[in-house]
Amino acid sequence: MAAQPISAPTQIPTEIKAVIDKVLGGFNSKDSAMYNGAFSSDAVVVDGMAPYRWTGANAQGRWFADAEKWAHDLGVADENISYDRFVRADVVGTHAYVALSANLSFTIKGQRASRLGILTFTLAKQGDEWKIESQAWGRLS
């Protein structure tokens, strides 16, 4: 693939934004079917909890289950991830890269807390649908 020029962040296509809103909606509502439905069949998830990387068939489902267990074990509840802006949105043919400035808010042992981060996705168009191929969370605070 030829080198791509570096450019300023672009407006995200509506159909890609809809997939990202779907996955975040699934996470926020703890709806694993909604969350899982946004991913391709062979995804990669990277997060700041062990084992830090999930790959292969149903990686997102295994991450979702591990995240639920992690939250339960640490007394984390009411998790909600929101984004204030798209830091980067590139689409080249049937592939896309999207980075969001995000905030994860939650309650831990009765105290409200939040973490700023960058939530990054790669997507691919499969037939008529965009699917997430990778999701990575990078905590900034």
Q: Do 103 and 84 touch, CB atoms closer than 8 A? A: yes
CATH at residue 40: 3.10.450.50
- Counting the structural domains of the chain, the total is 1
Mean predicted lDDT score pLDDT of the chain? 93
Give 46's strand partners: 53, 136
Q: Do 92 and 122 touch, CB atoms closer than 8 A? A: no
- In-domain check, residue 7: no
Q: Do 85 and 101 touch, CB atoms closer than 8 A? A: yes
Q: Sign (positive/negative) of CA torsion 120, 31, 47, 72?
A: positive
- In-domain check, residue 91: yes
pLDDT in tens, 17-47: 999 999 999 999 999 999 999 999 999 999 9
What is the domain range of residue 108?
14-139
pLDDT in tens, 80-116: 999 999 999 999 999 999 999 999 999 999 999 999 9
Q: Which pLDDT score is estimated for 2? A: 56
Phi, psi of 109 (to 5 degrees): 50, 45
- In-domain check, residue 103: yes
